[in-house]
Amino acid sequence: MSAAVFLTIALLTIYNANLGESQLEEPVPFPPASPTAENIAALCYNGKSRHRYPAHSIPSSWSSHFRRRATAINRLESWYQFCCSAPVTQPGIVLCCTQQAWMQSLSQFCVDEFSTMTAAYDCCRLQGPARWTCFSTEPFNPSYSPTLEYSAQFTPHTEGFVFKNDEC
């Protein structure tokens, strides 16, 4: 192999490695913030202005943990749509519903994390209240502000959410 070919391959490898790191640093903001009395209005009102990650839009270059995060966000946003819609009308019930959706979505995320051969997300290694405290420690977008100039396409309801009204 000539020196020029070797140098070209080496430079492309270094360039692509650096490019990949900068592009994939945090393509799926995670974890989602826990619903609270302070953010519930924005959570429901700004639902169509937060990112979704349809399967066809997820780049094949994303690592599998980013795909699992995207799936968890999509699932959670679908369940938030349910909680913020007409069937659930009382403000206290909406908050309770979104909190249950948040916990169920992240629980499923942890199940998905442990179903792979890779290291699981740190919070998933914890149990009970410690897990929820961990996920709440450094959430992305705790106020549920909208993503500027973004409008989510309709996302169908994701099965699996069980709202327990008697636990509110």
For residue range 44-85, list pLDDT tens digits in order.
Answer: 998 887 877 777 777 776 678 888 998 999 999 999 999 998
Task: Identify the pLDDT of residue 18.
Answer: 33
In degrees and rounded to multiples of 5, residue 50 shows phi and psi of -115, 150
Q: Is the pLDDT of residue 108 over 90?
A: yes
Name the more confident of 86 and 140: 140
The pLDDT tens digits of the residues spanning 128-154 come to 999 999 999 989 889 998 876 656 665
Name the more confident of 86 and 44: 44
Task: Identify the pLDDT of residue 3.
Answer: 45
Query: Residue 119: which pLDDT band, with cuts at 50, 70 and 90?
Result: confident
Name the more confident of 159 and 57: 159
Task: Identify the pLDDT of residue 64.
Answer: 82
- Domain borders along the chain are 29-167
Q: Is the pLDDT of residue 87 over 80?
A: no
What is the spatial distance between Cα 88 and Cα 108, in angstroms, rounded to a whole number? 23
Rounded to the nearest 10°, the torsion over CA 97, 103, 109, 110 is -160
Least confident of 6-10, 71-75, 92-96, 130-134: 6-10
Among 158, 166, 167, 18, smallest CA distance to 82 is for 158
